[in-house]
Structure formats: structure tokens, C-alpha cells
Amino acid sequence: MSRHNASAAPAIPRISLTWLLVAQALVIIPHIAHLPLWVLALWLFCAGWRIQIYRMRVGFPSAWAKAGLMLAASCGVLLSRGSLIGLDAGVVLLIAAFVLKLVELRTRRDALVLIFLGFFCVVTSYLFDDSLTAAAFSALPISALLAAMIGLQQSYLAMRPWPTLRLALVMLGQALPLMLLLFVFFPRLGPLWSMPNPNSQARTGLSDNMTPADVAELSKSTELVFSATFKGSVPARNQLYWRALTYQHFDGRRWSQAPLAQLASAPVWSQTGPSVNYDIIMQPSGQSWLFALDVAQSRTPDVQQSSDFSLRHTQPVEQVLLYGISSWPRALRASEATVASLAANLQLPVSGDPRSRAWALELKRQYPSTPALVEQLLRHFNQQPFAYTLKPPPVGSDSIDEFLFRTLRGFCAHYAGAMTFVLRAAGIPARVVAGYQGGELNPAGIFLTVRQFDAHAWVEYWQAGVGWQSVDPTFQVAPERIEQGLEQALSAEGSFLAGSPLSLQRYRNIELLNNVRLAWENLNYGWQRWVLGYQGTQQLEFLQRWFGRMDSQLLVLAIVGGGAVLLSVLALFLFKPWRAQQDPLRREFVRFERLLARHAVRREQAEGPRAFALRAAEQLPAQQAAIMEFAEAFETQQYAALGADVHALREALARLRRALPWRFTRT
């Protein structure tokens, strides 16, 4: 780097450059978790270079240097992300360009380009985190970018950092009413393109196949899965079985979905008994299945009921999704079924687990009716020394045999898988249901939060004329898991969230910490329900509830009319016309004008106070001293920022009045 260009560079004000550096740091912070480390090193390098340019120690990069930096950044993105295409790679490339632009700032136009690029980078952070915390933090880089923009102007603020920031905050506050108006009324439009969301990578949660170890792993996570708000009383905890998907196929180790279960063809069922109505706010999962109590129907578009009674969205859930549900817990489910559907729920591996198969045949001989056999199986789990644990001993190739007859220790997936296997071996169609059980009631907002550690698996079996029935063998072994939760079920073992010592979920027995946690969850719930969840259907329902019928014309009128009102209020706030006559200095000058007008000296349009006073002194030479005394006093009070002394100005006006001929001085 050379110095020959440094002195020739047009200077960008120091305050603007300072705020630009601060803004870049604040813009990058939310991206740190998913940015490669070389981007941070690049920013430190470019920031140092830019500071040295300002100090005239080095020059601007040459065209070859800029091309080399851009090529190096592109290669870095390609190596760290494997592609230059896609949202994740695109965001990294955008941040790199945002950083590199810093070293070539020559003019205010370049600085404006960098500022606008910064605003766009702030928006991209919501692709990775749209929580309340992220939204609150984004106000910091936006304020810094506005302060940098203000600092570019040649004004008295150009050398004053904190007044610059204060003005930026005022401007941000003035924009809030218009932002809220557009948020409420502007129609929600679908994306113009569809690309994989970065959040869909490396997510925890249920998958389309399961081993007992998978569900046990989920129990170690405190990640929020969804929240539920009931329109009425909340069902008892032992009734809160949140279905996600079903597993029909078993290969001897792993349960997985059958292709038929994913069909959108609605199953046959009857609505019997009272319904339960509630809303779900689901976190992004990258999967299409949804969560609901049995048997569920949704009044939200794009939500369909599958042939296995689960709910699916037409697209993978890549952002917070709010949907309404009505469930009928006593519904009669598929009392008649096809041979093909029943055969899919009788599938077993050709060989393996011989003791479990033989035991199933023995149970079938002793208990020929399906209800009696199911009851005996549940009694077996209850009476034998089975234990509920997150640390089961390892099993061999015949996993069902070893669990049922040797280890007797396992998690919910062990019990659900073993019971389904035995029922199928006895000729009873059955399947494993995966989802979540229970949830924590937040007393502040009266909603349930369901987390990954609430993951659960249970069993459904089919009986002619009765349809699908749900049973939970885990309840026979650890009823406290269903009635109280995972923490109580593992209290003796002490393994609840053992790998997360900093999680507030572990300290629910400490009242202060627990109240702080619940209050924060309540704030986040409101953010997700009323801000992130305010999408197409929810927006239409809200507007119709408050304004009745809504169509495109009314929306346009509301936006234009509301915007006009807000801009008018803002204009009144900025110009403050009511203060024109309240300014005591201005009132005295108006009296000065009126006094001279009575002596045929009238102020011309756009004539300044001093120019008017000089002209008046020429036309009234006898009163020249008194006129100029008042003008100088007015200028001193108005422009010298010495504090308004209205009394001194009034005395000067009184002396001028006495100096003028008496017949013209009546006011």
C-alpha cells in the first residue's frame, strides 16, 4: 500500500466514519454464529486499513488490489460454504462485500452506498434469528447507520457524536408510527422465489425415522417446539398427547414412516363428543408435519389431514407458523379399514426377536380378544421390574428380546416399540406414534410451551368396529412422566438436562429465576403471536374483527389515509406552527415591525432582521441609534445562544417607541 493517493482523497467527516465503523461491528454481531472466522479477520483488516487512510498513513487500494480482495473473498465463500449460490452463501458474500466496501470510500456517495448496504445486511440477520432479542438488537445497527448518514451532512453536528446519535434516535422514533401503519394494513405477500432457509440446517427435532436413542437425545434439549393457547379450559396434562407423525415400518432396529401414511387423503372418522379449540405457534422445523391433539382439523389454509390422522403443511415450515386447530378427543377413528392399510401395520422383519414372537403367540392363545391382550401387555409392564431411564444398557441385534427379557430399562421409545412389535406378532395392527406429551403452563400468558425434552412415543392399535385406540405403556412404568413431566420422572436418576447446567429450566424450583424465565417466555410468546404470526390469514381476521369487511380498495384507502394523517401529525410536530406566536423573542420582533410600519417602513418579503433594520435606519435617521440598538439586541438574543433576555429586548423597543414622533407611536 502506498501513500500517494491519501492526500488527494476527499475527506469523509470523522464522525460519519466513526459511526460507520461502529455500525459495521453491530451489523456483523448477529451473524457471528454462522459466519466463517475469516470474515471477522477480513473486517478487522479493512477497518484498520480505513483508519490508516483517514490518518493519511496509507493510500486507497488499487484496482488490482480490489480485484484480488474480491476474488479472495469469493474463494473463501466457496471453500467455507461449498457454493456461491443459496441464502447461506449469499449472506456470507454480502457481508464480505459490505466489509470490503469500507476500504474504497472516497466520496459521500460511496459512504451512502455502504450505509444502504448495511441496512440490507441488517435485514438478512432475520433469516437466521427472528426472535424478540434479535429484533431489539437490530435497533442498534440501524441507529448507528442513521447517525453515520447524518454525520455525512455539513452541519453543526458533523463534529459532535452524541447529538448525531440523538438525532438518529429521534428520526427512528418518528418513523415508528408509519412503520406500525404499514405493518397492520400492508398486505402480506408470498415470496417471489423459494430457496432453502439457512435455519433448516442442523435442526434438532423429530425425524421421519426413529430409534430409542433418537428420542432420548431429544430429551436433553430445551429448544422450544411450539406454544399452544386454548380457547377455554386447558385439558388435563395426561390428555396432552401432541401427535406429529406415525411409524409403520420396522427393520429390526429402526422405526420409519410408510409411504401410504404421508398421503394427503383424509381418513374416515366421526366427530363425537365435545371439541377442544386452540391455536398453535410452531417454531421453524424444516419439516412439513405439524402438531395437534387427536383428532384434529385445522381452519388454516395449507394445512391438510393425512391418512394417519396427522396434520401436514403444504410446504416445509421454515418460519414461525400460527395455525388454528379443533380436536375431538373422543372421535371414532377408522372403524372400518382396508386390507392394505391393515397389512402395513402388521409388517415385521422376516426374522429376529424369536422370544418376543413366541410370547406374542402365547398371549394371543391366552387372550383371544384384542382388548384383553392389550390389557395384559400393559399389566405386564406395570407389574414386572421395568424402569424408566435415559441411560438404558446397550442391546444386541435382537433389540426387542433383550429389552423385554434382559435389560428391562428404557425410554418411552423402547416401551412403545416393544409393545407395537408384540401386538403385530399377535396379529393386531399397531403402529408407533411420535410427538410430544405434556407441556408447561405459563401462568402469565395462559399458554402452554412444549419443548424438545417433552418428546414422547406411544402406541395405537386397531380393533374392528372400534377403530384406532391409543395406549401408552410408559404410563404403566412411570406415571409421573405423563402426569407431572420428565423432570419428576427422572428425579431419582438426576439426569434431567444434565448436559445443560446453565439452562433456567433446571432451576424451576428457585422462584426468582423461574419468574424471570416465565416472564421472558411470555414476552417472546406475544412477539411470535402478534408480530411473527401476523401473516395473511391472521391479518385478514384481525382487520375484519376491527373494521368489518375488508377488500383491496379499503386496504389502499386505509394505508393512504392513515399515512396522510401520520405525515400531517409529524409535520405539525416538526414545524410547530403554534409556537410561532409563543416565542417571546419573535413576538417582540413582530411588535418592532408593526411599530415601524406605522411610520411607513414595512418589512419586505424574505428580508432579514439586520437588512430591515439598516433600511429603516436610513429612512428614519433621527431614530437610527434606537433602531440599531433593538436590532443588535434581537440578534444577540436570537443567534448568540446566550439565553433569551426578553426584558432587555422590551426595554430597547420601549426606547425606540419613545424616540419616534408621538403621533405615530400608538399601537
Mean pLDDT of the region 601-611? 85
**Is the pLDDT score of 650 beyond 80?**
yes
* Largest CA-CA distance found in the chain, in angstroms, rounded: 131
**Is the pLDDT score of 641 beyond 60?**
no
Q: What confidence score (pLDDT) does residue 265 get?
A: 67
**pLDDT averaged over every residue in the chain:** 83
Pair type for strands 311-313 and 276-282: unpaired
* CB neighbourhood size of 89 (10 A): 17
CA 54-57-58 angle, to 5 degrees, is 90
Q: What percent of the chain has pLDDT over 70?
A: 84
Catalytic residue among 214, 412, 414, 454: 412
178 pLDDT band, cuts 50/70/90, is confident
CA–CA separation, 307 vs 594, rounded Å?
Answer: 88
Cell 418428546, residue located: 455
Q: What confidence score (pLDDT) does residue 290 get?
A: 94
Give the Å distances, CA to CA, from 247 to 144, 259, 358, 648: 52, 10, 23, 91
Helix (H, G, I), strand (E, B) or coil at 118: helix
CA–CA separation, 459 vs 476, rounded Å?
Answer: 13
**Is the pLDDT score of 266 beyond 80?**
no
* CB neighbourhood size of 414 (10 A): 30
Q: What confidence score (pLDDT) does residue 574 get?
A: 64
CA–CA separation, 125 vs 512, rounded Å?
Answer: 32
Q: What confidence score (pLDDT) does residue 263 get?
A: 60
Q: What confidence score (pLDDT) does residue 529 get?
A: 80
CA–CA separation, 299 vs 316, rounded Å?
Answer: 18
CA–CA separation, 344 vs 234, rounded Å?
Answer: 35
**Is the pLDDT score of 575 beyond 70?**
no
Cell 444386541, residue located: 396
Joined together, the cell numbers standing for residue 43 give 473486517
Is residue 456 part of the annotated active site? The answer reads yes
**Is the pLDDT score of 381 beyond 90?**
yes
Beta partners for residue 242, in sequence order: 436
Higher pLDDT, 194 or 260: 260
Give the Å distances, CA to CA, from 509 to 500, 540, 601: 16, 42, 84
Q: What confidence score (pLDDT) does residue 216 get?
A: 74
Query: For residue 432, what is the DSSP state?
Result: E
CA–CA separation, 589 vs 345, rounded Å?
Answer: 94
Beta partners for residue 297, in sequence order: 326
353 pLDDT band, cuts 50/70/90, is very high
Is residue 645 part of the annotated active site? The answer reads no
Task: Round the CA-based radius of gyration of the chain to a whole number and report it.
Answer: 37
663 pLDDT band, cuts 50/70/90, is low
Is residue 412 part of the annotated active site? The answer reads yes
9 pLDDT band, cuts 50/70/90, is very low
Q: What confidence score (pLDDT) does residue 193 get?
A: 47
- Is residue 422 within 8 Å of residue 373, measured between CB atoms? no
Question: Any alpha helices (H) in 337-392, and if so which ranges?
Answer: 339-344, 354-366, 370-383
3 Cβ contact list (under 8 Å, min separation 6): 56, 57, 58, 59
**Is the pLDDT score of 286 beyond 90?**
no
273 pLDDT band, cuts 50/70/90, is confident
Joined together, the cell numbers standing for residue 147 give 447517525
**Is the pLDDT score of 311 beyond 70?**
yes
Query: For residue 233, what is the DSSP state?
Result: S
User: Which of 1-15, 325-339, 506-520 is least confident?
Assistant: 1-15
Alpha carbons within 13 angstroms on the beta-carbon side of residue 172 total: 18
With CA atoms as reference, report the closest residue to 267 among 461, 463, 467, 423: 467
Mean pLDDT of the region 479-490? 81
470 pLDDT band, cuts 50/70/90, is very high
**Is the pLDDT score of 588 beyond 60?**
yes
Q: What DSSP string runs through 484-520?
A: T-HHHHTTTTT-TTTT-TT-GGGGTTSHHHHHHHHHH
Helix 132-151 / helix 108-124 crossing angle, nearest 10 deg: 180
Helix (H, G, I), strand (E, B) or coil at 58: coil
Beta partners for residue 36, in sequence order: none
Joined together, the cell numbers standing for residue 240 give 396432552
Pair type for strands 296-298 and 409-410: unpaired
CA 651-655-658 angle, to 5 degrees, is 140
**Is the pLDDT score of 647 beyond 90?**
no
Q: What confidence score (pLDDT) does residue 158 get?
A: 56
Give the Å distances, CA to CA, from 178 to 124, 536, 538, 551: 22, 20, 21, 21
Give the Å distances, CA to CA, from 521 to 10, 133, 233, 510: 51, 12, 21, 16
Joined together, the cell numbers standing for residue 149 give 448518514
Phi/psi region, residue 266 (left: phi>0; alpha: psi -120 to 50; beta: rest), is beta
CA–CA separation, 389 vs 212, rounded Å?
Answer: 11
Pair type for strands 332-333 and 269-270: antiparallel
Catalytic residue among 31, 249, 414, 456: 456
Catalytic residue among 472, 583, 599, 645: 472
Higher pLDDT, 220 or 67: 67
Q: For the segment 398-442, what is each residue's pLDDT rounded down to a tens digit?
A: 899 999 999 999 889 999 999 999 999 999 999 999 999 999 988
**Is the pLDDT score of 665 beyond 50?**
no
- Is residue 207 within 8 Å of residue 214, measured between CB atoms? yes
**Is the pLDDT score of 5 beyond 70?**
no
Mean pLDDT of the region 513-532? 82
With CA atoms as reference, report the closest residue to 435 among 282, 332, 229: 282
Q: Exposed, middle or buried: residue 310 (CB in 10 Å: 0-12, 13-18, 19+)?
A: buried
Joined together, the cell numbers standing for residue 115 give 450505509
Q: For the segment 222-241, what is each residue's pLDDT rounded down to a tens digit?
A: 889 999 999 988 999 999 99
498 pLDDT band, cuts 50/70/90, is low
With CA atoms as reference, report the closest residue to 284 among 318, 315, 256, 261: 318
- Is residue 309 within 8 Å of residue 333, measured between CB atoms? yes
